[in-house]
Each structure stands twice: as structure tokens, then as C-alpha cells.
Amino acid sequence: MSVNAQSIILHQYDISPFSEKVRVVLGIKGLDWFACEEPVIMPKPELVALTGGYRKIPVMQIGADIYCDTQIIIRELERRFPEPSIFVGGDRGLGWGVGLWTDRTFFMAAVAVIFGGAPDAMGEEFKADRTKLMGRPFDTDAMVAGAPMMAEQLRAHLGWVDEQLGDGRDFLMGDKPGIVDANAYYNLAFIRWIFPAGAKSADAMPRLAAWERRVAAIGHGNRQDIPREVALDIAKAATSTEAVKADPGEPNGLKPGDRVTVMADDYGRDPISGELVSSSAQHIALKRNDPRVGDVVVHFPRAGFLAMRA
């Protein structure tokens, strides 16, 4: 396969748990995609040229459309490639809400268990970078002190997943894998990569462990790696496919053509500004220009992001 303006390009790195969430979705859908390796810490000049300031990982690019945050990445994958669906029954709306559990409380428990058990796993530059990202000290001494409590939190989160499998189902919403599986899986994968001993409560839950093996066996679809410069050239040559669309219910009256700033409401709150192209209750798209990539449209989810008139 050769990379072009229709290709799925995932800006990611291999030990990124949020990238793993998307890789599992790519696996469920059996898609061809291109991985573009980004640095684990700042600076990330090529990524920021595409996003206009968003630095978190992963970011998906299709031509000159840039999707920031796993929620909007997965929504767009489902829109463009509806079969097989990530919705397997009973999860079409609240499946998204599960992401806010796994990305926030469950993820923070996983981070605390990993760095409480292996405080030096990633080195000083990483800690300094994550301190800036979080806006508070990435304090591994505090994580070591808090490790017993966080092991208890982690076991409780894993316990919900195990209980969900209690009727013998293969996947969390039934007999097929979907959005809830991709969400519940990636934190466990992250612990296994960096501090495997942190997963001992999972090993004590045989149903969970068997489910984990089933999700791992889905794989990641068909991946090929490309250099960052190739991805930037594709963005520069392409035109966004996002149509201008007004949002009659927009709570603050934002409309196409308005100058808008969007930022995450949790961490990595770097503001991104542009001209509104389209929006809905779940999506906002801003057009911006960068000397390296030309005109691009950057897409964000609404839940978990704040949009304001610039």
C-alpha cells in the first residue's frame, strides 16, 4: 500500500496507551494505516505544525484533516469505515462516556501504579516534560508513597471489567469486540509494557486475563511506518474534505467563519485557534494555516474540550 491523501496516518508512539486504544479500533475494523512516530516529550515541531498547538498523542491525519483526541479519532473512523461497527449492541451512546472513565480516573490509577512501582522507568526529562503537561509536579516520590492506595483503586477498576464478563461473554458488550473493549484494554496494556508487576491484581482475575488475551489477539490492522516529513507533505498537498456546516443548537451561537479557540479541559491545555468550519454537539472543526502545511482543518470532540470566541 502507498500513502496518499486518503490514507489513515496515526501520529503516535508505540508505548502510548491512548494510541493503543486507537490501534485496537483499527484492528477491530481491519484497516490499513500508516504510523508516524512522534517524540515522547516536547518539542514536537512537525505535530504542532499540523495541530496548531495540540501536543498530545495520538493525532490522526487524513490528508489535510487533523483529528485531535481519541474520542474524535474513533468517531471519524466509525463515520468513514462503519463496518464492522465499534458498537456491538447497547453501547451506541454511553460507549463514548466509558472513554471518560478509562481516560481519566482509570488512566490516573494506572499511571500512579506504574510510576509508584517503577519511578525511574522513563527518566528525568520525561518527568520534567510531564510536569509542564499536567501543570503540577509529576512527583514520583508521592506516587511511591501513594502506591498502596492506587493499587486498591486499580483493582477496583479492573474488577468492574471482570464483573462485566461474569456471564461468560467473550467481550464486554457481548460476543464481538467494540468501543468498550478498546477503552478498557489500553490501561492494562500500558501497565504490562512499563511495570508488569503492577498488573498482579489482573492476573488474579481469570476471566479478565482471558478477555485481555482475546483483545490482544485482535491485533492492530495493517500498519506501515512513514517518516514525519512525508505526512507533512501530504497535508500540504491536500485539501480538507470537511464541509461548512452551521450548528443551530450551538449553546453560545458560534457559527462558521467565527474565530474560535479550543482547549482541552484536563491537561495539555494548549489553546488552538482558527476559523470555525463546522460544529455539532460532538465535534468542532477549525481551519488554520501553517507555513509548512498550508491550510488544514483541525477537529476536536466537544466533551472534554472548551470552545470560546477568540
Does 299 contact ligand GSH by CB under 6 A?
A: no
Does 116 contact ligand GSH by CB under 6 A?
A: no
Measured CA to CA in angstroms, residue 91 lies from 10, 181, 201, 307 at distances of: 25, 11, 27, 27
| Among candidate residues 103, 104, 100, the one with its CA nearest the CA of residue 282 | 100
CB of 244 to ligand GSH, least distance (A): 26
> Segment contacting ligand GSH (CB under 6 A): 67-75, 156-164, 224-232, 250-258?
67-75
Does 91 contact ligand GSH by CB under 6 A?
A: no
At 13 the three-state DSSP class reads: coil
Chain residues 124-153 in contact with ligand GSH, contact rule CB under 6 A: 133
* Residue 5 DSSP class: T
Does 181 contact ligand GSH by CB under 6 A?
A: no
Taking residue 146's Cβ as centre, other Cβ atoms within 10 Å add up to: 16
Measured CA to CA in angstroms, residue 72 lies from 45, 59, 167 at distances of: 22, 10, 32
Q: Which residue number is nearest to ligand GSH in terms of Cβ?
A: 56
User: Between 21 and 162, whose beta carbon lies closer to ligand GSH?
Assistant: 21
User: Between 54 and 162, whose beta carbon lies closer to ligand GSH?
Assistant: 54
> Segment contacting ligand GSH (CB under 6 A): 15-23, 24-32, 206-214, 291-299?
15-23
User: Between 38 and 162, whose beta carbon lies closer to ligand GSH?
Assistant: 38
| Among candidate residues 309, 252, 242, 306, the one with its CA nearest the CA of residue 278 | 242
User: Between 95 and 162, whose beta carbon lies closer to ligand GSH?
Assistant: 95
CB of 239 to ligand GSH, least distance (A): 25
CA distance 143 to 194: 15
Of the residues 51, 70, 240, 279, which one makes contact with ligand GSH according to CB under 6 A: 70
Does 17 contact ligand GSH by CB under 6 A?
A: yes
CB of 138 to ligand GSH, least distance (A): 11
Chain residues 34-53 in contact with ligand GSH, contact rule CB under 6 A: 40
Copy the grid coordinates of residue 77: 473512523
Does 283 contact ligand GSH by CB under 6 A?
A: no
CA atoms 119, 121, 125, 126: torsion sign: negative
Sequence-separated contacts (24+) of 1-4 with Cβ below 8 Å: 1/32, 1/222, 1/224, 3/34, 3/224, 3/226, 3/230, 3/234, 4/234
Q: Before 84, cis peptide (omega within 30)?
A: yes
Per CB under 6 A, residues contacting ligand GSH are: 16-18, 40, 55-57, 69-71, 103, 133
